[in-house]
Amino acid sequence: MKYMQSDLWNDYYAELEPSKRRQMFPEILEQVEDDGLGQLRKDLFDLRHTDPKDPSNEVDIFLWEIVVLPAYKDSMFKKLAKKQMDRTMHNLGFDLAEKYGEKGKTALYWEFRNTAERFLMTCRSSSYGKKFFGFIATDDKDRQLKCTRDIWMMTSLVPRKMGMEKELEVLTEALKDAFFLSDPEAQERYENLEKSEAAQKKRLL
């Protein structure tokens, strides 16, 4: 795997409950060899789960930011959309990770993987469609298709329309990796949708 780390850190990012991750963090630091990313991991966690208006209120800013990513697909004003995306990347900790060079991408990737897993957990909820995008997905198949399209928009359509595939690469890798591992047919659904959208675009040219 491109973003390797110790098994204990894997356990940390596999845990989806923020309060449990907070408890695990200092224990893991004492047990693993220092890879120079401990402070970044803490900073990303704090950025993600601290409400700027009320620090006592636990939130998930990263989850919110990826949920609204598909909205960028309809933006008519490129300069405004680029400004908004720059703010999104700031809120997602890209600038924090950049200070650590290439190795900073590892901590960023795994925080995004954890975010993706929490998003995929919502995809399995019966209220998924209504809660996030305004309609009810009636059964498991509908929810799978809806989730596939949302992931595709987050990882393919929006980065391409924004001309920011390279800048968003760590995020899109994390989202796709988590999604492809979520069920045996996930990658096939994604690739079929990609082909279908490409064919439709070609017909419209």
Domains: count for the chain: 1
Mean pLDDT by 10 residues, the chain (205 residues): 92 97 97 96 98 91 94 71 91 98 98 98 76 56 91 95 94 98 96 93 71
As a 3-state breakdown, the chain gives helix, strand, coil percent values, each rounded to 5, of 75, 0, 25
Distance CA(67)–CA(64), nearest Å, equals 5
Distance CA(124)–CA(137), nearest Å, equals 10
Residue 2 in domain:
no
**Region class of 27: left (phi > 0), else alpha (psi between -120 and 50), else beta:** alpha
The pair of three-digit structure tokens given for residue 59, joined into one six-digit string: 């939130």
Q: Please name the helix (run of DSSP H) or strand (run of DSSP E) that holds residue 160, with its range, or none.
A: helix 158-162
Helix and strand counts by DSSP (H, E) for the chain: 12, 0
- What pLDDT does residue 132 have? 47
- Determine the distance from the C-alpha atom of residue 88 to the mean position of all C-alpha atoms in its chain, rounded to a whole number: 12
162 close to 84: Cβ distance less than 8 angstroms: no
For residues 54, 60, 65, 68, the Cα torsion angle rounded to the nearest 10 degrees is -100
Is residue 128 exposed (0-12), middle (13-18) or buried (19+ Cβ within 10 Å)?
buried
Residue 130 in domain:
yes
Q: Long-range contacts for 16-22 (Cβ within 8 Å, ≥24 apart)?
A: 16/114, 16/117, 16/118, 16/121, 18/45, 18/49, 18/58, 18/60, 19/58, 21/45, 21/114
Q: What are the backbone dihedrals phi and psi of residue 126, each rounded to the nearest 5 degrees, phi first?
A: -65, -20
Distance CA(63)–CA(92), nearest Å, equals 9
- What pLDDT does residue 139 have? 76
> Structure pTM?
0.91
- What pLDDT does residue 125 have? 78
Residue 1 in domain:
no
| Domain span holding position 121 | 7-204
